[in-house]
Amino acid sequence: MKESLTILDEYFEQDGFVGVTVPTFINGSMSLADESLEPLYARLNELSARVYVHPTGGGAQSPAINDFWLQWVNGAPIEDAIATLHLLKADIPHKYPNIRFHIAHLGGDLAFLTQRLEDNYEDWGSFEHSPM
């Protein structure tokens, strides 16, 4: 992680560099909410960085998607939504308010789930803070 933070600082010293792109899953399966990434989020927060989240094309590791070659048709937006929900469940946007997350493909199906997400927050405490 220390090397990653050093490289990050080097890039941010360049004119016009404002953010990074991260995959929806790191190394194919690690969540963006993994605790080992906290130092990265802390530094990105200090830099008021933009973080662009883009799917890996791994079909959210689902045979129902991958066995039918739907990785980019429907897998990509599902990965976008899963990564966003992981970030929300870990309260990353609240812990690091200076980071501006940009989620590919309009966040997948999240636009259609906004009321459901808020209901889960209000009725069952599924999130630390309102997903809205």
**Total domains present in the chain:** 1
Backbone angles phi, psi at 41, to 5 degrees: -65, -35
Determine the average pLDDT of the residues in 109-120.
93
Contact 105/54 with Cβ under 8 angstroms? no
Any domain includes 57:
yes
Any domain includes 130:
no
Q: What is the pTM of this model?
A: 0.92
Any domain includes 132:
no
**Whole-angstrom Cα distance, residue 88 to residue 79?**
14
Domain assignment of residue 65, given as a range = 2-11+18-124
Q: pLDDT digit string (tens) for 13-25?
A: 988 899 999 999 9
**Whole-angstrom Cα distance, residue 88 to residue 82?**
10
CATH number where 66 lies: 3.20.20.140
Other C-beta atoms closer than 10 Å to the C-beta of 3 total 7
What local confidence, expressed as pLDDT, does residue 3 receive? 81
Any domain includes 26:
yes
Any domain includes 84:
yes
Three-state SS for 55? coil
Any domain includes 131:
no
Any domain includes 129:
no
Determine the average pLDDT of the residues in 53-70.
96
Q: pLDDT digit string (tens) for 64-111?
A: 999 999 999 999 999 999 999 999 999 999 999 999 999 999 899 999
Three-state SS for 100? strand
Residues 6+ apart with CB under 8 A from 57: 71, 72, 75, 76
Any domain includes 99:
yes
Q: Which of 44, 116, 39 shows the shortest CA–CA distance to 85?
A: 116
